[in-house]
């Protein structure tokens, strides 16, 4: 009876509030075939091997990876500064943060369209598979499932969780881990902080300073860290530093979308 009641509720909800495409708003599917075909996938061959920005393979203005300075001692200092802000060995992003992908993120987080979570996980799987044949800065593939021990995610703040009633990245990371055949490690926690979307680059970094912590011993583990959007990289950097501080061997980052 419970299953029948649930089915009836779903049928009634679909009758009064029919599913519409997140891209074109046409009724029928959550993402219609036409909008799915037009999704602006990032070509992993030309994206930045460090921060995942589209077209940043050779020179990247987003992470300043390619800056050349002939002054003695400064290139090494720049490398240290770069790695402090981008400590993950690589970042793989599925889409630019624009159009339908941006709308999907907003609908999941702020409109409670939870059915988008597995779709976003599927998109991440495709982006990660595309990154198998593309080298990171260390010469290894940017992603290889056999080189990952577990999937973890950048968690919501307590205030965001209380407001929404769920952690949207846990909803994405769970099916992603299942699709990759990897365990999910819910090991990160965040204290309350200001909404990152309201802050600039320097304020984002300051807002997250000391705000993210890993709760378990992660000695020797190779982790895939998942987030919805990489903007300045502050959230990914803070979470990566927290994982490395608890003994993680290395962290590879991935995100559904990239602001650039």
* Residue 131 counted as domain residue: yes
Instruction: Provide the CATH number for the domain around residue 111.
Output: 3.40.50
* Residue 47 counted as domain residue: no
pLDDT at residue 16, rounded to an integer: 53
* Residue 220 counted as domain residue: yes
**Paired sense of beta strands 212-214 and 188-190, if any:** antiparallel
* Residue 76 CB neighbour total at 10 angstroms: 9
Q: What angle do CA 96, 118, 187 make, to 5 degrees?
A: 90
pLDDT bin (cut points 50, 70, 90) of residue 204 is: very low
* Residue 73 counted as domain residue: no
- For 47, phi then psi, to 5°, come to -80, 160
pLDDT at residue 18, rounded to an integer: 83
Could you tell me if 239 and 134 lie in one domain?
Answer: yes
Check whether 169 has a pLDDT greater than 50: yes
Could you tell me if 26 and 96 lie in one domain?
Answer: no
Higher pLDDT, residue 69 or 162:
162
* Residue 80 counted as domain residue: no
Could you tell me if 19 and 107 lie in one domain?
Answer: no
Could you tell me if 6 and 129 lie in one domain?
Answer: no
Instruction: Please tell me the total count of domains within the chain.
Output: 2
* Residue 244 counted as domain residue: yes
Q: How confident is the model over 105-147, as pLDDT tens digits? A: 999 999 999 999 999 999 999 999 999 999 999 999 999 999 9
**Paired sense of beta strands 90-96 and 188-190, if any:** unpaired
Could you tell me if 127 and 246 lie in one domain?
Answer: yes
What lies within 8 Å, CB to CB, of 69 at 6+ separation is 75, 78
* Residue 55 counted as domain residue: no
Range of the domain at 15: 2-37
Q: How confident is the model over 35-85, as pLDDT tens digits? A: 999 999 999 999 999 999 999 999 998 988 765 444 445 656 666 778 788
């Amino acid at each position: 009876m419970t299953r029948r009641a649930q089915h009836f509720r779903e049928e009634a909800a679909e009758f009064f509030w029919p599913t519409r495409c997140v891209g074109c708003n046409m009724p029928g599917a959550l993402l219609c075939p036409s909008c799915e075909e037009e999704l602006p996938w990032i070509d992993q061959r030309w994206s930045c091997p460090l921060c995942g920005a589209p077209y940043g393979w050779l020179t990247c203005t987003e992470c300043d990876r390619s800056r050349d300075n002939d002054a003695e001692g400064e290139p090494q200092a720049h490398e240290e500064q770069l790695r402090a802000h981008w400590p993950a060995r690589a970042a793989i992003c599925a889409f630019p943060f624009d159009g339908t992908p941006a709308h999907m993120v907003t609908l999941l987080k702020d409109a409670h369209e939870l059915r988008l979570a597995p779709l976003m996980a599927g998109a991440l799987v495709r982006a990660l598979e595309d990154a198998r044949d593309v080298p990171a800065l260390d010469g290894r593939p940017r992603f290889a499932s056999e080189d990952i021990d577990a999937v973890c995610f950048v968690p919501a703040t307590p205030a965001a969780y209380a407001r929404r009633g769920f952690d949207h990245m846990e909803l994405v990371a769970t099916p992603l881990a299942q699709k990759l055949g990897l365990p999910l490690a819910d090991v990160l926690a965040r204290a309350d902080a200001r909404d990152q979307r309201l802050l600039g680059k320097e304020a984002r970094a300051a807002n997250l300073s000391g705000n993210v912590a890993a709760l378990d011993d992660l000695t020797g583990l190779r982790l895939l860290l998942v987030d919805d959007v990489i903007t300045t990289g502050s959230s990914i950097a803070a979470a990566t530093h927290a994982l490395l501080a608890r003994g993680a061997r290395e962290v590879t980052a991935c995100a559904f979308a990239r602001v650039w």
